Structure 1
Amino acid sequence: MLLATRSLAVPDVCMGRPTLVQIISISSKFCTQDHALRRTPRSLRLSRKFSSSSSSQSSPSSRISYRVAGSCSAKGRRFNPEKHTYNFEPTIHEAIGVSLDNIGEGRSRQKRPASGEDAFFASRVGAVDTGAIAFAVADGVGGWAEHKIDPADVSHGLCTYMAQHALTEEASQRKLRPKELLQKGYDSVVADESITAGGTTASVGVALTSGTVELANLGDSGSVLFRLGAVHQYSAPQTHAFNTPYQLNIIPRRMREQAHMFGGVYFEDSPRDAAVSTLSMQHGDVLVLATDGVFDNLNNQDILKIVTGRMLATGAWKESSKNAAICPSEELQALTQPGGLHRQTPSSPSSSPSSTSIPPTPHHKSHHTLQALLAASIVGEAKLASVDMRRDGPFAKEAQRYYPGHWYRGGKVDDICALVIVAIEG
């Protein structure tokens, strides 16, 4: 049986320098966290499955485009928001998070993002930009390391192959489905002779210009949709037992035979086992896909505080003067454009760097987008929570429930990865 391993490390979380780090710091000062909590209906907090919305702020004929950014941090490594956050611009990039030629025997780990065993991608659907996008996060099953197998090979390979398949999708064909994309990616990983063993979870999505987003989730990675200061919908994790998620595995014949001899069995879930859900994104919605490195350390309300605080601080969301309701602002689209956040923040730091700050990095103004701020903020907060031994995170609380005498405390150190997708009308 394969279990996700728990590793001990003490990573440094960088803070304090200008650029994206400074923007995160500035927006943090204006976060209205308690306000965000009050705006979340109790029924939504308790919901375990995706639900449909009865209201819509986007007209049925309106076109929705998507602004995407990913951020990641490997366990035991410093998190640098400027270096480890990636904006996806479909008119410029075929994909982010993967190197499309980094497969097979010649693949290089140096070409991967600094995400450890986690992986992610966002890409166009088809060779030409039609507005439709495919995206995913994947988490290599850490238990394979006990067999001297790199769990990252399967997760990164899966994302690379899924991006390739999405880009070669013909526009004339029926719309691409995420479960189908997951199956194609997994089949390609199995056929890759350079990947001999391993396993991964995955959360995959395809978004269309109509605002329709279909998601396929297998394992304990997942997604949360935030709408105007509330948790609107979120996925439920799939697990066989505590810390044992559904997983796509490649089992060598020798290991099968050994397991059979001793009466054991490996989990061999299929892309067909993925839970599929459909949602309709509206102007100003924020969809977050993340691995368990986020969800083991932050619950949905924690992420809501981050998202609502950043959206209000930057002016992407605004409060009505009449009834204090939150709505998208006129600045939303501009904030998601390259350099959009740079125009909203000071050009020089207001205070000296902290003792934990990183060395200066090139000032890439184009990186400063709303979606990049959200992704980096979520990863940064999860990183801090993972090494905080004074606060029990979701993983610790779950461990205490399953094993009352275990006394697991604090956060869970792990690789961390988040994709943020902001819906823009027009």
Structure 2
Amino acid sequence: MVSIIEMVIVLVAAAALTVQGIREDIAHKRAQLLAIEGQNEAVINDALSQWVTDNFAALLDEFTQSGSPDLTPPTLDQLFTNGNLKQPHRNGPFWGGQYTVSMTMVPDGCTQEAGNCHVSYTFYPSLPLTKNGKADVAGAAQIALAGGASFGFSKTQNASEISGLNGAWTATNPLGNQPAVILATNGPGSDGDSVWIARDGHLTWTGSQNVNGVDLHNVGNIDAQGTIAAPTVAASNVAVSNAVRSPGTLFIQNEAGTAPAPADMGTATLHGPLQLANTGVPRAACTPPMVVGNSDGSGQVLTCQGGQLIPVGGPWQLITQNPYSSGQVVLPPTCSAGGTPKVLFTPQVISVDPTATVSDVSPQGPGPWPVSILNGQLQPVAGTVMASTYCVY
């Protein structure tokens, strides 16, 4: 039989386990409540950031007219009415007090004319977080962690200062020397509005931007001081004063804004060199339309004609045309890669026996070519010819 003492021990142990389970359940539910509070405050903080961006011009006018850096912040109802908050929010956390917002124009001495003014704000509950009547610093840390990088809290040591998560920033505790105070800010005492790309254009970017592959529509003018590089560039009414380099296809659209072919050019004014990125060799197979440069870098332009790359101007390129006397030598021209030197003699002045026959034969081969005018007896006679040299591709 089980003794009474053993039964008492079992009951006491069961009661202890029950109490421990209740405590753990309460702690779990409180942790969930703190996380929800942090997420709720993060939503309000994001709404404040949007409101500052949307109303910066009005805030700047208020600052300019009043001369005071202290600005009028919105209420939660105003954030909801303006659409920054998607649903109404209770004005205060679950432990009591109210949500408080403070906004100032920074830095000191900024002016509307100089365009160097920005809005800095703080958002915090008016009471510190407590548990059983004592400051709950651990709970405040949980709320800040759920809120994100803009949030911080005051610790037991040096409670007059708010520390951002991982010590990312510090700010003065608005409630004084009290621990467990939660606060969010967009930039305490500094360039508070600089984290946003202002819609009214009062801020300039301070670093390179990555738009994550999204499109930009309805753009006006684009002024570039460096290189514009893109696989495909499509433009209408293009005026280029420097260099446009495209590793892929350059589309220059006409006034109608259409480019049915790989390159449909309307009116394009180029100030400076047009460099062809792709190269080829004469007589190489191709598919029209295609325009490339000669692979030797000579600057010769090749176009696709009849399925082959042919120099602009045709396969016979006239290089020089000068008069030569009998006995002189015509030097061959320097041809771009793929070209063969050729010469054509055209008689100009020849003195021979009128009963004789003149034999003028243009020499063959790559040159140099001697000028030799022969009579019917194959004897040299005096005279001149016009020698036209070509590069044939």
Higher RCO, 1 vs 2 (CA within 8 Å, ≥6 residues apart): 1
Q: Return the index of the structure with the highest Cα Rg.
A: 2
- TM-score of the two chains, using structure 2 as the length reference: 0.21
> Which structure features the higher share of strand residues?
2
